[in-house]
Structure 1
Amino acid sequence: MISAAEVRSARFTPTKFREGYEPEQVDALMARVAAGLDAAATGEAPGVTAEDVLNARFKATKFTEGYDQDQVDDFLDRVVASLRAGEGAGAAAGPAGQPAEPIDAARLRSELASLQPRRMRAGYDPDAVAAIVNAAAGSLDLHARGLRPSPGADEVAGAQLPTTWWTPGFDRHAVDALLARVVTTLRG
């Protein structure tokens, strides 16, 4: 798990005359993430979620100094993975903080088949979703037979799925809800 100190000490290469991210906006998100990680370390609600970080948008710079976009994106990918792992460490939650409903392998595969990729919105890469869902379905089969599943609940909860923007992708909330149900089942 990434620490608040690591977030605070992160430095990004400045850009000029090439696209970068507006430094003040990146710094504001990083401060919010660090404060959230500090809160989580003391047992409080972090106040920032993986979804918040995924949905963050920064103004692009070109002729003024900005932060290197690839470095920022790579670091925030680590933050998202860490936050997801932390979110999965508690109960995988359904609506209104209720535990997500358990799911079996056949139902998981059926729900994956019912997902429709969508364009021009942030979504998860369909191939990556299929890979984790198929691995999770195998884990659910093992779990149902009383065997140790692999990947386990923590690996499913911490799965880092690439986000698509211009190519079709699966709705992130729907996929996250499916994976939360897998985690609930594997921990049950």
Structure 2
Amino acid sequence: MSTRLIRAALPATLAVCGLLCVSAPAQAALGGKPMTPPSGSTSTTLSPSARAAAQGVMASITTAANYTVKQTTLDSGTVVREYIAQDGNVFGIAWMGPRVDLPNLLGDYFPQYASGAAALRKARGARGPVDYEQPGLVVRSGGHMGAFVGQAWLPQALPPGVSGDDIR
């Protein structure tokens, strides 16, 4: 393989690795049960008023009228927020940090997202943020190596009074 070909393929390879790598799997899945915080992270339960005052907390759980938000900071520095319906299932996920494990976070929805994102990138002819929106799944993902951000939610599973804009 020529050096020129390797250099051409390296940025795309690194980008894919960055999206798929995390030091320990989060073990959460959109549409499933919330994650068990992996080794290297801690879990703390806070009241809504205490959450606003806590700046250095590794993980927190807050409750709204019809859903719970669980925030966990992984040992990689990535912050994952899970939006959990009263039935205990995750209807939305938001992330921000140096690494994200989308196959784990999106669970059974990852293949749908991956094929849709590939089609969007092919049509656009470039890399960049992905705004994937279908009736059963919405994923907004962007950033760059070391600084990824995004949200994903299941429109059909949003509790009454909750919109996709609430997933942050």
**TM-score, normalized by the shorter chain, greater than 0.5:** no
Which has the larger helix fraction? 1
Instruction: Point out the structure with max Rg over C-alpha.
Output: 1
Which has the larger strand fraction? 2
